[in-house]
Structure 1
Amino acid sequence: MKDFTQYIQESKAACESIYGMSPEEIPFLKVGLTKEQLQQKQNKYGKVLTIVKEFMKKLIEYLDGVPTLIVTTDSEGYVLEIFGDTGIKQMVDSLGITIGARFDEKDVGTNSVSLALKHGEPIGLIGDDHYHDCLAGVACYSAPFSYSDSNQLAGTVSIMTLVDFANQFHLGLLSSAVDTIEGEIRLQEQNHKLYLLNQVLINSAPLGIIMTDDSGGILEYNPGAEEILGIPKKEAIPKGIGGIKGLSEYVVRALQRQEKIENTETTLIDHKNGHERICLVDVLPLYDSFHRLTGAFAQFRDMTNYHELQKQVIQSEKLSAVGKLGAGFAHEIRNPLSSIIGLVQLLKENNEHNKYLQIITDELERMKTLVNQFVLLGKPTKLQKTNSDIVQLIRNTVELMNSNARLNKVQMEFVSEETELFVPIDESQVKQVLINFIKNAVEAMPDGGLLLIQLQVNKKEKEFRITIQDEGEGMTQAEVERLGTPFFTTKESGLGMGIPICFDIAKAHNGFINVESAKGRGTSIHLVFPLQNGMRRKN
């Protein structure tokens, strides 16, 4: 054991000359913590005290037959925990060495706790090494410990026993135990940090993350996976990876072939609503330190909105190309068309075959309408916004279209949450959109039916929604997806350019159009516009 003679002599000299102590006195720990202060320190050292107790109890078992008391202090010498031999504990109680008291050289004289904290190394005092005569019958060994990266002292762990049982190996055993305790504390701290980091990465990431064992049993299933798949964690774990269609085959490949799957697109089902989600998937096999397969890690990102945006970009490019073609075409034929129409009007005034000229005029007017629509399609939509009452605009449009609806045995009904609602719109163009969709809805019900028009306001999202709902024959999903494509129409005599123009008008208002339809079940058109001049994002 190391010779601590110099440390002991310096301490005893201080006790005599500085603190004015007498060896015959009985020392007493005077400074103590309040209940609140003690509770705060014990909470701070909670994990440390648990680990110290666990390891030091094993040491006491190893020292079977040796009366041993364990004392743990903080970095200031305050006693946080005492356990072990009851006989020694009664003796130290008489000296005021209790939980909350402080080991201070000026109160208790030369002691191993104060010396260990002062010099930062394990120290042992046996019998007369203590300053006071009443401690000549005990042996005390103290070792400082730290667990932070800075190695700053956090406290001490001490062994107290009777001199008759003192052994040169006690300090070595204590030092080894404290080294192990420090390692365990650091390991638990590191594990806690990794756990927190893991929780942040897994629970906060906008990704679905699933980890499995080597048989496909689910070990980790984060909130992102719940959101994308619509399957709660408590339902997913019992089923294993086999219960997740579209993903299970990739995980099985990773487990069976130990194959990496990276940046692979797949379609997963959102079980909340049955909708398909296009996802980008990565699956990696996991190994232990001996390179044995232990499981698989899968992450997947919902790319549905990205694909929808891609479609919109492609659609926009198509419209742009068609628009340029249409503008050129319209420019070349509009002037001669106007001349022909004018000349036909002159002929009608002096020609007895007016009915044929009328047919020619009607067809030319139809061609002129087609050309004008080409022009509209080729130009960016320009708005002349005014603060207009959208409720009154819808009422006027319904009244305008009502006679045509009655001829087709269609009953029109307008329902509004508001009696008036002033919003910044181009009244003429929004009216054109309403007329177009109402006309289509009426034509979709050749045998009559109910045409319901609703106005709803969402103040939270700062938007208003006009819904035009018919009881017509409806459309397939494929037809719905093609709506807005120039020249696509479900009507025999349609041109397929009215709807694209409506989409452009909605977009120019920073709004959008949603279409819900099913074959044989009718169609609902949702026109969504901002309450103020702001961008609305399609959900």
Structure 2
Amino acid sequence: MIIYKKCFNLIHNQYFLYKANIIITRKRGCPMTQRETYIKNSKTTCEHVYQMDPNSVPVLHVLLTEEELNQRLQHYERALSTIQTFMTKLLSFITDIPTVIVTTDDQGVVLDSYGDERLKQMTASLGIQNGVKFDEETAGTNAITLALKHNKPIHLIGDDHYHYCFSEVACYSAPYRYRNGEVIGTISIMTPKEHASPLHLGLLSSSIDTIEREIRVHEQNEQLHLYNQMLMSTTPIGIVISDQIGHIREFNQSAAQLTGMNKINMIGSHISEVPVLKPFFDHVLTKEKGIEDIEITFSRLDERKCLLDILPLYNHNQKLSGAFAQFRDMTSYYQLQEQVIQSEKLSAIGKLGAGLAHEIRNPLTSIIGFTQLLDVDKKQAHYIDIIRTELERMKNLVNQFVMMGKQTISERKSGHLYPLIFETVELMKSNAHLHNVELYFHAEEEQITVWMDASQIKQVLINFIKNAIEAMPQGGEITVSLEKKDQHAIIAVKDNGKGMSEKEIKQLGTPFFSTKSSGLGIGLSICFDIMKAHHGKIVIDSNEGAGTIANLFLPLHKEES
């Protein structure tokens, strides 16, 4: 800008020489320049088509209502702000030259003007204000209209204007464009004729180049910000960004869902508000070294297992400016892994069961039968009973192995649960009495219908009642209940036994896991598979020392629901 100011003074002194050269050139009969042609054609149109009087003062029309002007100003807000920033700085270097800056839209409507107050008063007296339109029909030959019409910088000095009232000013106008080359409007410099200089047009063109670049940068930044927000909002990956001291700057929706925290509340808070992440952020911000693939668990109602990556962020000076964390929900992946492992176990059990059925079960049956035929005294009978008990246990183990690996064919049909449960409870009462356990059954209503394989549901119920009896070695009470709720029939088996820990509950249904020292961990796994095949589920509610409630959910038959 300092160089521009010096050039102003230098070229200003040469201005009259510049005008003289134009006059000499014209006298020599040289062809008119393109600019001169534009001016001549415009003046001819004003005189013969619009029949304007050059001695009159043009009456500029207010094209926009106040509401329309406000809408237009809002649309041009970013451009006008950028233009004013650069042009105000330009004005600060030429304070000794009275200058007014005028900005218009692509139709020639004035949107903004500022600069020398005296010159502004003069332009205001001519009707130049926000909302008026510069066109040839009302304003005569003017730089704004010519710049828009010919899409190039134009300057009019003194008598270049059609109306004599503009003969004492010099006007320089140039269009400014979008990234695609589309004209969005003009920027004009108005100054007294005696201060006219070719440098004004050069300065204006140079300023517009800078302004256009700045507008493009703003547009690109806004687009990038929009894309970033879209990515941050739609990605299933949790993203947290902090500054160099751990204050959270970004916390996307997925991060909020995975952590169970409120997105709005987290912005601006310290990373210590997320205890799981804090030690890792501290490490990265202190050591300036990233970490990758760290397994973390967010404690919520449903624990989410995630893989965490955190990287340090640096500014343009390569100084630490913060940290970027992303964590991917791997819960479904781990669950799938467990399912694959369980499937492989079941496959192995199936193959083993087939062999066991043929090679072991049949001989066992024979041995058990022969032990019953042995004629032994009382002392030996005790040992024979032990042998028979263990053989029966082995046979039971083989049967369960075979059942685990066997794809049973389910014969489901509509049926009432009440008689099935009543029959099963009555069947199990004798076994319960042997263990000093009282077994009760009650139902809120008897007409509850589900689509089921009755024998399989009976098997599940027997298993849970049997487990409840075994959970109370000192005796107790078991209550079996039936109710209907939210499109489901619920069978509840409640005992007042020793209960289970949360860790034990989570592992129920896993093959070979059992809370009993003599258990095989196969029976419950079969029960879970049966309920899953019936589109039902098993929910265990238990606390150590406070008993257990096993809730069996079965969807109601459509006619019932």
Give me the TM-score of the superposition, normalised by structure 1.
0.83
Counterpart of 2:222, as a letter, is H
Question: 1:229·1:268 contact (CA, 8 Å) conserved in 2?
Answer: no
Within 5 Å, which residues of 2 pair with 1:223-372?
223-232=253-262, 240-242=270-272, 244-262=274-292, 264-270=293-299, 272-273=300-301, 276-338=303-365, 368-372=395-399
Deviation of 1:384 after TM superposition, in Å, equals: 1.0
Question: Quick one: distance in 2 between partners of 1:126 and 1:439?
Answer: 107
Structure 1 residues 114 and 531 mapped into 2: Cα distance closer, same or farther (>3 Å)? farther
Query: Which deviates further from its counterpart, 423-432 or 37-46?
Result: 37-46
Deviation of 1:257 after TM superposition, in Å, equals: 3.7
Within 5 Å, which residues of 2 pair with 1:345-494?
368-390=395-417, 393-394=420-421, 397-398=424-425, 401=428, 408-410=436-438, 412=440, 414=442, 420-445=447-472, 446-449=474-477, 451=479, 453=481, 455=483, 457-458=485-486, 466-494=491-519
Question: 1:512·1:527 contact (CA, 8 Å) conserved in 2?
Answer: yes
Counterpart of 1:428, as a letter, is S
Deviation of 1:454 after TM superposition, in Å, equals: 6.0
SS of corresponding position for 2:325: strand
Counterpart of 1:296, as a letter, is A
Is 2:87 the partner of 1:56? yes
Question: 1:245·1:268 contact (CA, 8 Å) conserved in 2?
Answer: no
Is 2:548 the partner of 1:523? yes
Deviation of 1:63 after TM superposition, in Å, equals: 3.7
Match of 2:524 in 1: 499
Is 2:217 the partner of 1:192? no
1:71 to 102, 112, 126: 102
Question: 1:146·1:182 contact (CA, 8 Å) conserved in 2?
Answer: yes
Match of 1:536 in 2: none
Is 2:160 the partner of 1:129? yes
Question: 1:202·1:222 contact (CA, 8 Å) conserved in 2?
Answer: yes
SS of corresponding position for 1:72: strand
Question: Quick one: distance in 1 between partners of 2:388 and 2:448?
Answer: 42
Question: Quick one: distance in 2 between partners of 1:108 and 1:435?
Answer: 99
Question: Quick one: distance in 2 between partners of 1:56 and 1:415?
Answer: 85
2:142 to 88, 97, 111: 111
Match of 1:154 in 2: 184
Structure 1 residues 399 and 237 mapped into 2: Cα distance closer, same or farther (>3 Å)? farther
Query: Which deviates further from its counterpart, 154-163 or 401-410?
Result: 401-410
Question: Quick one: distance in 1 between partners of 2:151 and 2:443?
Answer: 83
Question: Quick one: distance in 2 between partners of 1:97 and 1:239?
Answer: 51
CA displacement 1:78-98 (0-9 Å, x = unmatched): 222344455544544555444
Match of 1:41 in 2: 72
SS of corresponding position for 1:110: coil
CA displacement 1:463-518 (0-9 Å, x = unmatched): 66555443321224454454334444333554443212112212323444344544
Counterpart of 2:532, as a letter, is K
Question: Quick one: distance in 2 between partners of 1:415 and 1:203?
Answer: 49
Deviation of 1:390 after TM superposition, in Å, equals: 4.3
Question: Quick one: distance in 2 between partners of 1:186 and 1:383?
Answer: 68
Structure 1 residues 40 and 531 mapped into 2: Cα distance closer, same or farther (>3 Å)? farther
SS of corresponding position for 2:297: strand
Deviation of 1:448 after TM superposition, in Å, equals: 1.6
Question: 1:145·1:182 contact (CA, 8 Å) conserved in 2?
Answer: yes
Question: 1:410·1:450 contact (CA, 8 Å) conserved in 2?
Answer: yes
> Structure 1: which 5+ runs fail to align?
534-539
Question: Quick one: distance in 1 between partners of 2:408 and 2:252?
Answer: 45
Question: Quick one: distance in 2 between partners of 1:34 and 1:402?
Answer: 90
Structure 1 residues 531 and 88 mapped into 2: Cα distance closer, same or farther (>3 Å)? farther
Question: 2:425·2:439 contact (CA, 8 Å) conserved in 1?
Answer: no
CA displacement 1:347-373 (0-9 Å, x = unmatched): 59x9999x9699587776665544432
Question: 2:478·2:493 contact (CA, 8 Å) conserved in 1?
Answer: no
Match of 1:537 in 2: none
Structure 1 residues 165 and 419 mapped into 2: Cα distance closer, same or farther (>3 Å)? farther
Structure 1 residues 40 and 240 mapped into 2: Cα distance closer, same or farther (>3 Å)? closer
Counterpart of 2:41, as a letter, is E
CA displacement 1:280-313 (0-9 Å, x = unmatched): 1112222223433322211111212321221222
Query: Which deviates further from its counterpart, 70-79 or 173-182?
Result: 173-182
Structure 1 residues 269 and 124 mapped into 2: Cα distance closer, same or farther (>3 Å)? same
Question: 1:319·1:485 contact (CA, 8 Å) conserved in 2?
Answer: no
Structure 1 residues 302 and 127 mapped into 2: Cα distance closer, same or farther (>3 Å)? same
Structure 1 residues 6 and 320 mapped into 2: Cα distance closer, same or farther (>3 Å)? same
Deviation of 1:279 after TM superposition, in Å, equals: 1.6
Counterpart of 1:69, as a letter, is V
SS of corresponding position for 2:188: strand
Counterpart of 1:472, as a letter, is G
Structure 1 residues 105 and 300 mapped into 2: Cα distance closer, same or farther (>3 Å)? same
Structure 1 residues 164 and 466 mapped into 2: Cα distance closer, same or farther (>3 Å)? farther
Question: Quick one: distance in 2 between partners of 1:246 and 1:428?
Answer: 48
Structure 1 residues 174 and 399 mapped into 2: Cα distance closer, same or farther (>3 Å)? farther
Aligned CA RMSD, in angstroms, stands at: 3.7
Question: Quick one: distance in 1 between partners of 2:339 and 2:357?
Answer: 26
Match of 1:211 in 2: 241
CA displacement 1:236-257 (0-9 Å, x = unmatched): 5676345544434433443344
Question: 1:113·1:158 contact (CA, 8 Å) conserved in 2?
Answer: yes
Is 2:202 the partner of 1:172? yes
1:15 to 19, 22, 46: 46
SS of corresponding position for 2:246: coil
Question: Quick one: distance in 1 between partners of 2:267 and 2:125?
Answer: 59
Question: 1:451·1:470 contact (CA, 8 Å) conserved in 2?
Answer: yes
Match of 1:182 in 2: 212
Residues paired across the two proteins, number: 522
Identity of aligned residues (%): 49
Is 2:231 the partner of 1:201? yes
Deviation of 1:129 after TM superposition, in Å, equals: 0.9
Question: Quick one: distance in 2 between partners of 1:130 and 1:480?
Answer: 92
Question: Quick one: distance in 2 between partners of 1:98 and 1:238?
Answer: 45
SS of corresponding position for 1:24: coil
> Structure 2: which 5+ runs fail to align?
1-10, 12-17, 19-32
Q: Larger Rg: 1 or 2?
A: 2
Match of 1:508 in 2: 533
Question: Quick one: distance in 2 between partners of 1:356 and 1:523?
Answer: 39
CA displacement 1:58-101 (0-9 Å, x = unmatched): 44444435444332221122222344455544544555444333
1:101 to 129, 132, 139: 132
Question: Quick one: distance in 2 between partners of 1:172 and 1:356?
Answer: 120
Structure 1 residues 81 and 278 mapped into 2: Cα distance closer, same or farther (>3 Å)? same
Deviation of 1:405 after TM superposition, in Å, equals: 5.3
Give me the TM-score of the superposition, normalised by structure 2.
0.80
